[in-house]
Every structure is written in C-alpha cells, then in structure tokens.
Amino acid sequence: MVRLLSPDISAALIIQDQALPQDDPELALVYTQLRRLDPVGQRFATVLRDTIDQLLNGEVTGRYDWKSLFKTEKTHAGTVVEINLQREFAFEDGIDMDYRIGGVDVDCKYSQKFGGWMIPPEAMGHLCLLVWADDYNSVWSAGLLRIVPELLNGGSNRDMKLQVKAEHRTKIRWLWRDVELPENTLLHMDPADREAVFAKKSGQARLNELFLRAQRRRIGRNVVRTVAQQKDYMKRVRGNGGARSSLRREGVIIMGDYSAHQEIARQLSLPVPQEGDFVSARVVRSIPGDSRPSAVINGESWVLAESGDPVIPAPLLPAHTSSSSD
C-alpha cells in the first residue's frame, strides 16, 4: 500500500544528487537502482510510516507514541523495516547480506536515533543501506555506505557490533536526507484535543471528535484504526451514520482519497488526501466578493469557514461509486 507524499514535496526536499564515486561502481549501481525504483522517496516513506504504525498496533493497543513501545518491540523494529522494504521493492535475498540489489549484496540497518546504526562484523567490506526515521519531527533519511574498519568506532558490546564514527557520517552517500515522513496525527495533535478524542466512550464518538478537532490536515487510515479500535473502522468514517453524517450538521466535510474529493481539497487549498488518507474541514457558502479559495460542491460554491462564520450544514460530497452515500 503506497501513500503518496504531497505534490509539493519535490526535488527541493531531496538531497542534491551527489557525484557518484568512481572508485566504487557497486555503490553507484545500487544508488542508481534505488533512485530509479523510488525517485522521490515516497515508497520508502510509506514503508517507514506503515512499519511504525505496525509496531504501535493502535487498533488493538490504542498506542500512538513510539515511547510507549516495549524495549523488545523497539529492538525488533530494524527487522520489521528490513522485511517491509524487501516486500515493497521485491529485493532478492542476499548471499551474505540481507538483500541483493542489481546483483550487489546490501545489508539493511535501521536506527531510531540518527547515527545509531549497529554494524555487525560480517558487514565489513559490504554496502550498508542505513535508514533512520524520527516520528517526532516527521523526517527520515536513507543512504549507502561501504563499511571499512576505519569508519567504525571501537565498541565493546558482546555481539561485536560497531557504530559509524560521527566524523565519518559525511561519507554516507545519501539517497534521501531529512525528507518528510507522513505525519503521525495523534502524536502531533494539541494534547488537550487528543485527550478530548480519547475521552469519548465509543469508537464512533472518538472518530467524530478526531475529525472535528484535527481539521485541515491529513489523517491516515492507521490513525482512524487507532481511534476507532473497531474492525469496521472505515464504516465509522462514511455516511449513513458515520462521521460524515454526524459532522454535516457542524458544517464539516470529510474528504477521502477519491478523485472528486481530492479535487475539492485542491480547490480549497487544503492538503490533498492520498491513498488511505482523510482531510476534514468546516465550510460555509461563498458570498460575492469573498476572496477565499472556493470549491463547487453540488452546484454551490463553498469556502473554508473562519471562526466568525456561522455554523451551517455542510454539503453532501460527491459519491465515489454509484452505490456509495456520504
């Protein structure tokens, strides 16, 4: 499942192409192959977002904060990232390392802390794909490094794993550096708003509160699952008794990843919901002379509501199939 990054994330957010090393053709080959498979890093970002959400397992646990994971779960994160990247990109199994990319053995190392990659002795001389993600700052990075002894510290842990010396991190050939990680909405909400969401007793009431309080931002499917904590969580968003129906009287529309909804979001200058995303916003009818961006919904022009605007029922959004109802 690939959730695209917002259209405004372009080459400006991707590390400038560095001159590939002439003395390491394998690194150049793997670098080129990975950038070909994922030109803007959207697939990597989705894997990292989904992996963090998988570990949090919010539908069952209600967790949304990395700090709430058990130590064993955090330790397991690197393995899950490695597996999920291989599943996404269909990398071949490596001969001595995790993957074989373009015929080259590559080891995958993930760290929750930048620079904290633990390099095993068997990776010496091989390429490592170094991956890092920070859910608190919503950024991630991935780069390639040829492991040689002089780049590593002299650690003394029992499994003989070493870290890359800080002064040698400049030698990492970055594929993507400090690129946007899809936001963990619950983690970044105002604490009072988040508390109000989870104070509701039922999954439906919690979702209604979420879409009311977290307006004008992307809300991913895993956030919906975490808040609803119900198997039929998607039904709780839709019309016919879901959040769309409940919040219409509050003037709130909830746009999904259907093309008609995406176009409305664009016209209103809102974040465009990508696959599995929702974006909610309160709207009012546009009046002559109104300079706010507007969208035509059901034949009428609507704009984003401001605090002083009256609360009026929101329009029905276009159905995405002939049998759907908002």
pLDDT per residue over 208-262, tens digit each? 999 999 999 999 999 999 999 887 777 888 767 789 999 999 999 999 999 999 9
Q: In this predicted structure, what is the pLDDT of residue 227?
A: 95
- Output the six-digit token pair for 187: 């983690």
What is the number of other CB atoms lying within 10 angstroms of the CB of residue 136? Answer: 12
What's the whole-number mean pLDDT along residues 119-130?
95
Q: How confident is the model at residue 156 (pLDDT cuts 50, 70, 90)?
A: low
Provide the CA 131 distance to its chain's centre, in angstroms: 15
SS3 40: coil
Q: Decide: helix, strand or coil at residue 196.
A: helix
> DSSP labels for 42-56?
HHHHHHHHHHHHHHH
Task: Quote the CA–CA distance of 6 and 274 in Å, as a whole number.
Answer: 8
d(CA 181, CA 178): 9
Task: Please give the mean pLDDT across all residues of the chain.
Answer: 89
Beta-carbon contacts of residue 185 (< 8 Å; ≥ 6 apart): 214, 217, 218, 219, 220, 223
> Is there a contact between 99 and 108 (Cβ–Cβ < 8 Å)?
yes
Residues 261, 317: contact at Cβ < 8 Å? yes
158, burial (CB in 10 Å: exposed 0-12, middle 13-18, buried 19+): exposed
pLDDT score recorded for residue 3: 38
Q: Which of the four pLDDT bands, split at 50, 70 and 90, describes residue 20?
A: low
Position 324 scores a pLDDT of: 39
pLDDT band at 9 (very low <50, low <70, confident <90, very high): very low
**At what angle are helices 191-199 and 203-213 packed, to 10 degrees?**
160
Alpha-carbon distance of 320 to 109, in angstroms, equals: 41
Question: Over the stretch 284-312, which tens digit does the pLDDT of each residue have?
Answer: 999 999 999 999 999 999 999 999 999 99
Lowest mean pLDDT, pick from 21-30, 125-134, 177-186, 190-199: 21-30
Are 315 and 300 in contact by the 8 Å Cβ rule? The answer is: yes
The Cα 206–Cα 74 span in angstroms is: 28
Given pLDDT bands bounded at 50, 70 and 90, which one contains residue 323?
Answer: very low
Residue 83 has a pLDDT of 98
Sheet of 252-255: strand order equals 252-255, 279-285, 300-304, 294-297
pLDDT at 56 over 80: yes
